[in-house]
Structure 1
């Protein structure tokens, strides 16, 4: 029979299904067998593991002090390690470590775990076995927490185990006489074990442990733990003979731990002895003195931890200051420390951005800091401070200076500075003898030269401290304080500069500047460091220290250094040695210029230099002014930076020229405009200030700089006769200024020397700040027009007008005497008080009596609760001075300056010092030179010098008038007659009737004149 097609297909499908079912059954069977095998294996392993663990527990259930045969224990431990699980067997492993350490105390090879290694059947496997155990100790140390008491005990156990099996010192078995022959072999065995751990990252484990325990506010590592860690850290280093690779790894992983040396000194000082004994410092400095090795170490650490390495190196150097540091201080130590700080500068940035982080030592930094490092910074700072501590500064800079200044060892104090030469005598023979003596003295004084080995050494050391100032930006004040007050280092540095040749080696420095205009050579570091430190020193120097005590610097020293700086900078600018385009960013120029200006302003306040000291004698004024008019950049820069090198009178003329040029540009002169625009105001005699304020306060500066004409209304509400040639406006201006500066108005107060400054209680006056701005504009107008007003200001206030108080090195204490001499004496007493300042019960606050009510001002937040101590008294006296001179009157001063500068360009004021600005405002307070006045007087209307009336005039002025009366007479001429200026004053007597202002009439009456029918009369019929 034949099957149909459909039945055939069904059969094939059934066959296929049956085959697949059989295959599936086989898979199920295989899977079951596999699962059963795994399960049986797991059960077997569990049983095996339990058997091993039970065996281990049975062997270690007794006290660990009960020793058992070492080989038996070894076999048990080997089986235990086969099934060891870190979390499950932590306690078992701890028991094992205790037992192993205890076994080493046995002198019997049978019970000491080291005895297993003596059996040749187990020696090789035992070494591998111990390495495994010790690495598991490191594994546990990674996770244990130092601030958990239970973990702290476990850390000690694991550290003890590592210490015990990496050195034979605790192996009692080797102390037997018959075991001495094995000692060298066992030491090599320990070295092998140590090397194995090192290659697996042993230092990383120790570093992590140190950072967790030390890089925090509250230190967690105790003596035993820290001592064990350092013992382990130094063993591979010492056993390998301090090879370069191991020293490098030690520096990177161990010595870069924040403030490690500081904590060792406080917790485990014996570890420092180990470092000293094995010359770790010497090998470290020698390694880092190789630039390639230095680069490897620094690139691995980068900025933050490189700074920690620097701190630890400084601390270890401080500990070995009398041994290794003396030997290696130059050039090795100097080079390494300089390069480390210089490398850190690559991560320092000048300003804040989204990519920067604030570093408490370095400022804005391109790297972030972890929390541990952040908490360690105060400790790291303590280490960095050692760089400018007395021992290190003396070893570095002090010894180099003494070597250069006193090679014969007679004592620097016995080498006098050459005094300025006396005026030359007219006797030729005597002059020759004096010249010979001067040359001999100069040869003794100027024993050093730029470029000599001694000078180069000092220059490189100065470069180190300059690098510190540029890198450790937030510690600059501490660095300056350390250098300025350590063993007269600053004074010795000055003596060295003085020894470089006439005028402190001026010619040599100028020659050097000619080939290096940026001042980047090491020799210039001497000048830069001295200038920066000296600026800091003078800024905090009070008058008693500078002018009376004169220790160590005397006034002749200041004269000499200012003379050098003045001429050096003058020549550098004028001859183009300083690049005009980059001079503002030239740190060398800025350092020297800052010191020069500090010395100049100190001299301006209280002179210590001879007359004409600041002038450059070789300047020809006419030529200088001509070059200035042509716009030569160097001349303009010289005038901008050092205006004092030209006489004051020429600067006043230059100021007047600036004013005249501006008037021409603004169209405010007759030459610029046929009829210059003028403003006419009407003022009542009884309301001069009010009417003037109402009509002038809102005028724009442009209009106020123009012509102001005044029409006075007298007491009868009648117009006063005529408007003369600016005389009435001058009277209005003087009268306005006289009234607003009257202390009874309470806008201004007077010091004990009758000098004016803004009143702290001026707020009681309505719109007092608007009044201050108006007063500033009026005074500015007076200066702008060359009208001299009798307004003596306190010097500290004028310093604020000039903008000097905005400079970083401005000292409030310097100018405090110009406000309150009694307060200055009190604060100076506090500064020099040798006892405990806390006994005075002072706080950082000040009480002020305001209308019978005591108001307390805090100098710092919470200042009432902050006591003044010996540590913070310097801060207190500066804050107190700043409060009295600035904080109390800051709003009034700002308003006055705003008004004054709306008329007077601040750049013009830069021509003058504080006293010179007062002279610009009030004129010179010198006796009237009648001879000079008569010589330059011009006569009109038939008068001449031999005229009878004129002779009467000069006779009365000379014989009958006092000095004050002569000034009043000259004031009449200034108020009523057209005045020209040449030398002192020139006035013109006209034979015609002229209009007298009211003030002039009053002055004339006080001098004994009377007016009858419009004719001025006196007993001598002086004028008609």
Structure 2
């Protein structure tokens, strides 16, 4: 008998709720009713969160974050007022401030985050790069996350295994206590990005979010997101019906792993290297294999990651999410509809959609290769990814004229997605200057 197919959770979404009810007000009631003497028959839609679509859940998570930020700022000001009155000794900053050097961004970030208390992570994040004049209204923060993520995932740290087939990463098997702060930092980084509504490019598979939310059982299908080849091999083993399995496939209850170029065999159970897989125990072998890869091999690494995440976000709205929803919110998407991007663009001053320079710009832009377009997006916004709901969820690009010569490069104001585009004398010069700008995109200064 065929296994019944489960109904996907999004089949229960009631998108109409976004328009029918005040979701924020419903959430306030849901949070406070335990302190109130009210009729128990009065319910909150938050009790039936499976009805909320992803848009509603993100709204609730952001709303909860805003409330926590407001409370953290209010507490800081109250503390500072008491300091002025002589009741306290030190003032506190109402913001979570990070001052980092580009060439020591990981070291600086770890050192500063370690000094903060958990309550400080509820404050709005503001980042400053050493010797750069830019004011962080969002753009610097986006670049900070981008650069820090890129550096942490550097293979030199040996923290993650990269699966070339899928481009995803997973925790390295061999735990080193010296890098535990790094795992915790990545968890904190991930949560801070969510908390401060910033997309972050962490190429973890869906299983990470399953573990983080502890909602859905991890199984063989999760291996496909890491290695389709291993997934196919295990599936083939599962479906192999012949009695010669033991002598034909020659699997034992162990697994080969690599660490800094050294190959090691890890037993999946006591004496596993001498226990051959057969028709009777093959399901046990597959279960142990999956459990080792996603749980036992990375128990301490994931615990450090999760503790870093939970020090920032450990709220009720997070419980409303399913793993795939949280993943989409964290990393955004890579469905680049560049025609829609153009349609959403606005113009200021003498520029308009039919202006010759603007027409040249779009002719040049649409002929760029995909990677160059993503670099332009990074140049413009501080991130090379699109929010989960596409361009409608972010500020549209605004193009305005800056100079009337062929000397200056285009300049971006990432905080507001504004492009200062000189009025070049030809399309060829525009292309040259645009490519030069996006290829040398790093650093914030006041312009």
What is the TM-score of this pair, normalised by structure 1? 0.34
Separation (CA, whole Å) in 2 of partners of 1:1005 and 1:915: 41
Alignment partner of 1:692 is 2:99:
no
1:750 counterpart SS class: strand
User: Contact between 1:831 and 1:874, CA under 8 Å: does it hold in 2?
Assistant: yes
For 1:727 and 1:671, locate their aligned partners in 2 and report how far apart those are by CA, in whole Å.
Answer: 26
Q: Does 1:970 align with 2:368?
A: no
Match of 2:34 in 1: none
Residue aligning to 2:26: 628
Q: Which residue of 1 aligns with 2:443?
A: none
Q: Provide the rounded CA distance (Å) in 1 between the counterparts of 2:158 and 2:124.
A: 30
- 2:161–2:171 Cα contact (<8 Å) kept: yes
Return closer, same or farther for 1:958/1:864 CA change in 2, 3 Å cut-off.
closer
Cα deviation digits, residues 572-620 of structure 1 (max 9, x gap): xxxxxxxxxxxxxxxxxxxxxxxxxxx54xxxxxxxxxxx744346x44
Matches within 5 A, 1:624-773: 624-626=21-23, 628-629=26-27, 630-631=29-30, 633-639=43-49, 642=50, 645-667=51-73, 677-713=94-130, 719-751=131-163, 752-761=165-174, 763=176, 767-773=178-184
**Cα distance per residue 1:443-479 (max 9 Å; x no partner):** xxxxxxxxxxxxxxxxxxxxxxxxxxxxxxxxxxxxx
1:783 aligns with 2:194: yes
Q: Which residue pairs with 1:502 in the alignment? A: none
The answer to whether 1:926 aligns with 2:335 is: yes
The answer as to whether partners of 1:781 and 1:903 remain within 8 angstroms in 2 is yes
Residue 248 (structure 1) aligns with: none
Cα offset, 1:750, TM superposition: 1.6
Q: Is the 1:789–1:922 contact (alpha carbons within 8 Å) kept by the matching residues of 2?
A: yes
> Secondary structure of 2:161's match?
strand
Superposition map of 1:204-283 within 5 A: none
Q: CA offsets, 1:4-31, max 9 Å, x none?
A: xxxxxxxxxxxxxxxxxxxxxxxxxxxx
Q: Distance in 2 between matches of 1:880 and 1:696?
A: 36
Alignment of 1:281-680 (within 5 A): 488=1, 552=2, 558=5, 562=7, 600=9, 613-616=11-14, 619-626=16-23, 628-629=26-27, 630-631=29-30, 633-639=43-49, 642=50, 645-667=51-73, 677-680=94-97
| Matching residue of 2:36 | none
Cα distance, 1:804 vs. partner? Answer: 3.1
Aligned to 2:215: 804
Where in structure 2 are the equivalents of 1:150-161 lying within 5 Å?
none
Post-superposition offset of 1:787 = 1.1
1:983–1:944 Cα change, 3 Å: farther
Instruction: Provide, for residues 15-72 of structure 1, a one-character-per-residue CA deviation record: whole Å limited to 9, x for no partner.
Output: xxxxxxxxxxxxxxxxxxxxxxxxxxxxxxxxxxxxxxxxxxxxxxxxxxxxxxxxxx
Aligned CA-pair RMSD:
3.9
- Matched with 1:91 is none
* Distance in 2 of aligned mates of 1:1010 and 1:773: 35
Q: Is the 8 A contact 2:65 2:122 kept in 1?
A: no
1:780 positional shift: 1.2
Alignment partners' CA distance in 2, 1:738 and 1:683: 15
Structure 1 residues 634 and 996: CA distance shift in structure 2, 3 A: closer
Secondary structure, counterpart of 1:846 in structure 2: strand
For residues 294 and 274 of structure 2, what CA distance do their matches in structure 1 show?
23
Q: Distance in 2 between matches of 1:910 and 1:669?
A: 26
* Counterparts in 2 of 1:943 and 1:969: CA distance versus 1, 3 Å: farther
Shift of the alpha carbon at 1:849?
A: 4.4
Q: Distance in 1 between matches of 2:314 and 2:158?
A: 28
The DSSP-based 3-state class of the residue aligned with 1:835 is coil
CA distance in 1: counterparts of 2:355 and 2:262, whole angstroms: 66
In structure 2, the residue corresponding to 1:804 is in which secondary structure?
coil
Contact 2:380 2:412 survives alignment (8 Å): no
* Distance verdict in 2 for CA 1:661–1:679, change over 3 Å: closer
Between the aligned partners of 1:698 and 1:889, the Cα distance in structure 2 is 27
The DSSP-based 3-state class of the residue aligned with 1:633 is: coil
Distance 1:707 1:635 in 2: 29
- How many residue pairs match? The answer is 385
Give CA-to-partner distance per residue, 1:404-443, whole Å, 9 cap, x none: xxxxxxxxxxxxxxxxxxxxxxxxxxxxxxxxxxxxxxxx
In structure 2, the residue matched to 1:986 is: 396
- Aligned partners of 1:653 and 1:822: how far apart in 2? 38
Deviation at 1:967, TM superposition (A): 3.6
| TM-aligned CA deviation for residue 686 of structure 1 | 1.7
1:830 to 197, 212, 237: 237
What's the CA shift for 1:775?
A: 1.4
Aligned mates of 2:250, 2:433 — CA distance in 1: 55
CA distance in 2, matches of 1:961, 1:801: 39
The answer to whether the Cα contact below 8 Å between 1:712 and 1:720 also exists between their aligned partners in 2 is yes
> Quick check: which has more Rg, 1 or 2?
1
Is the CA contact 1:668–1:707 (under 8 Å) kept in the aligned structure 2? no
**Structure 1 pair 848–748 and aligned structure 2 pair: CA distance change class (3 A):** closer
Are the aligned partners of 1:780 and 1:900 in contact in 2 as well (CA < 8 Å)? yes
Highest relative contact order (Cα 8 Å, sep 6+), 1 or 2? 2
Correspondence list, 1:833-844, <5 A: 833-836=240-243, 837-839=245-247, 840-844=249-253
Which of 227, 251, 254 does residue 845 from structure 1 map onto? 254
How much does 1:949 deviate?
7.3
* CA distance in 1 between partners of 2:377 and 2:398 (Å): 11
The correspondence of residues 994-1013 of structure 1 with structure 2, limited to 5 A, is 1007-1009=434-436
Larger relative helix fraction:
1
2-structure distance, mates of 1:960, 1:848? 44
Q: Helix, strand or coil for the counterpart of 1:667?
A: helix
Secondary structure, counterpart of 1:767 in structure 2: helix
Is 1:873–2:282 an aligned residue pair?
yes
Aligned to 1:774: 185
- Give 1:753 shift: 0.5
Higher strand residue share: 2
